[in-house]
Amino acid sequence: MRRIRTVCLTALLGMTLLTSSAAAQTDQLDCEIPPSLQPLFDLLNTFTELALLAGVGLGTLGLSIAGIMIVVPGQDWTRRGKDVAKHVIVGTIILLSAQAIVGFIVARLGSTVCV
């Protein structure tokens, strides 16, 4: 369990430190974004923030449920709790990586739509 916790915390710390929001990506562009495309970049930024909040909330809830399942007596509950914990960690990492994906798309798309 300590190894899983270490891997999870390392992944979360890495995602937090190595990614930046879509708004920050658009601020780093060398040119102005056309006003007609500004709502698209705002929408991408909103999705990024919602995915981050959803990942943290669902990860917390899922790990709480997995902990309760592990504490309940019985080998079957313990096995199921460990499986739930593994799935929650993988799902949380996928949800939190959405911020990096959106940042990448904005960086690529931003350079082609500059005026």
Specify the pLDDT at position 111. 62
What does DSSP assign to residue 21? -
- pTM summary value: 0.55
Model pLDDT, residue 112: 61
Per-residue pLDDT for the chain (115 aa), expressed as one digit of tens each? 666 666 555 555 555 544 444 444 445 556 677 788 888 878 877 887 887 787 788 889 999 999 999 999 999 999 999 999 999 988 888 877 776 777 777 777 766 655 5
| Count of C-beta atoms within a 10 Å radius of residue 88 | 20
Count the Cβ atoms, other than its own, within 10 Å of residue 34.
11
Domain boundaries, given as residue ranges, for the chain: 2-112
Give the whole-angstrom CA distance, residue 30 versus residue 15. 25
pLDDT (0 to 100) of residue 21: 47
Q: How many C-beta atoms surround the C-beta of residue 55 within 10 A?
A: 21
Report the length, in residues, of the chain.
Answer: 115
